[in-house]
Amino acid sequence: MDLIWRRSKCRDVLVDRSEVEPGRDEVNWGPSHCECLLEKKDMVANLQARKEAIEVKLNDKIFELKLLCIQEAELTGILPPETPLEPGESPPVFRRREGMLANLELEYKIQHGIAEAALSLANEANTNKIVRRKHRLVYQQSQRHLTELETKLTSLRQGSIKSQQKQRKKPRPPLES
């Protein structure tokens, strides 16, 4: 019995040389060939199902990113360049909220006064220890809120400076398919 290696559609197989016709590389594979085709079909179906699931997740994430970019644009007045847009869709135009900076500055001044008052109450010597501890906690909370307001103010001021310096961006051209 003279055996040779031949490549089937799925894998290498050891076959008898007498099964191979002279001048042809094909072998009569029989039922194992059908099994191989079924395995391939199953594999393709599984891969297509995985691809569809990944595409659904990707579309969800793109939608979330678009919502976040729109929220950022509502705050700053500038649409971020990484905003996902459909082909041919023009980017929405947002106006910066005019009174937002003034409102934040006013809130910062009020919070600064609250923090100073809480500090003076926490440092009073003639009050009970428990009351001073409560005032100290109020002071720490107001300081945290004050630092949050400071970061919002600085980012808003930097955004307004950048928006004055930048030129308007051109809309993305539609993709040609």
Task: Tell me the C-alpha distance between 22 and 9, whole Å.
Answer: 20
Given a cut of 90, whether residue 48 has pLDDT beyond it is yes
Neighbours of 22 (CB within 10 A): 5
Query: Which residues does residue 5 pair with via DSSP β-bridges, in sequence order?
Result: 14
Task: Tell me the C-alpha distance between 78 and 144, whole Å.
Answer: 28
Closest C-alpha among 151, 156, 164 to residue 102:
156
Given a cut of 80, whether residue 99 has pLDDT beyond it is no
pTM for the model = 0.39
Q: Which of 67-76, 126-135, 153-162 has the lowest average pLDDT?
A: 153-162
Closest C-alpha among 27, 38, 37, 33 to residue 4:
27
What local confidence, expressed as pLDDT, does residue 74 receive? 78
Average pLDDT over residues 90-99: 70
- 104: which residues sit within 8 A by CB, 6+ positions away? 149, 152, 153, 156
**Helices 100-122 and 129-165, packing angle to 10 deg:** 160
Given a cut of 80, whether residue 158 has pLDDT beyond it is no
Q: Which of 33-37, 99-103, 146-150, 163-167 has the lowest average pLDDT?
A: 163-167
pLDDT (tens digit, 9 = 90+) per residue, 17-31?
Answer: 666 555 555 545 555
What local confidence, expressed as pLDDT, does residue 82 receive? 86
